[in-house]
């Protein structure tokens, strides 16, 4: 999954059921100084779909209920939010061609101080525990975004001209000082 989210060309990727944890930060570093900067980094043009058993060859064959595909920021001690990723999903300057479809996004904890620089854009560690969009407008469909925390936008934070298209998603059970859901 990590390589799928790191693709650099236009691709459509099917992801099998299971729980996945990010292994790299947005620059591809597997051992960042702050491990909480690990994230699933959505690249421009990637269309990534969850909900597969692993034998399908067509999008219409997937079953989201039978094959939950979970992206989790719980990379440290299980159930301890203090060591979770700042952002489960990070999307920066995507050109509006990125799609995320059929995932549960959970366990992000955007409670950090300061910022990091990704592709020339400032990423706030206190924005978007589940998903942080910065100058990015991905299409997000059939996702459940729950169990995330943040200073701003516990579930989703949209910053600097971000306007994602969100269809048929459940955003619930997230907490934040401002904008628990979005």
pLDDT in tens, the chain (182 residues): 555 555 555 589 999 999 999 999 999 999 999 999 999 999 888 999 999 999 999 999 999 999 999 999 999 999 999 999 999 999 998 777 899 999 999 999 999 999 999 999 999 999 999 999 999 999 999 999 999 999 999 999 999 999 999 999 999 999 999 999 99
Q: In this structure, what are the phi and psi dihedrals at residue 59, rounded to the nearest 5 degrees?
A: -55, -35
Cα separation, 58 vs 25, in Å, equals 31
Quote the DSSP letter at residue 140.
E
């Amino acid at each position: 999954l990590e390589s799928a989210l790191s693709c650099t060309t236009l691709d459509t990727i099917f992801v099998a059921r299971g729980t996945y944890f990010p292994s790299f930060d947005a620059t591809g570093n597997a051992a960042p100084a702050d491990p909480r900067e690990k994230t699933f980094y959505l690249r421009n043009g990637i269309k990534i779909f969850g909900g597969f058993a692993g034998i399908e060859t067509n999008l219409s064959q997937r079953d989201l209920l039978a094959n939950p595909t979970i992206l989790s920021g719980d990379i440290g001690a299980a159930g301890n939010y203090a060591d979770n990723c700042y952002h489960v999903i990070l999307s920066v300057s995507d050109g509006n061609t990125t799609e995320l479809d059929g995932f549960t996004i959970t366990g992000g904890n955007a409670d950090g101080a300061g910022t990091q620089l990704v592709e020339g854009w400032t990423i706030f560690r206190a924005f978007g525990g589940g998903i942080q969009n910065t100058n990015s407008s991905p299409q997000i469909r059939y996702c459940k975004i729950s169990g995330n925390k943040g200073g701003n936008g516990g579930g989703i934070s949209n910053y600097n001209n971000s306007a994602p298209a969100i269809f048929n998603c459940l955003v619930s059970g997230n907490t934040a000082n401002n904008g628990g859901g979005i």
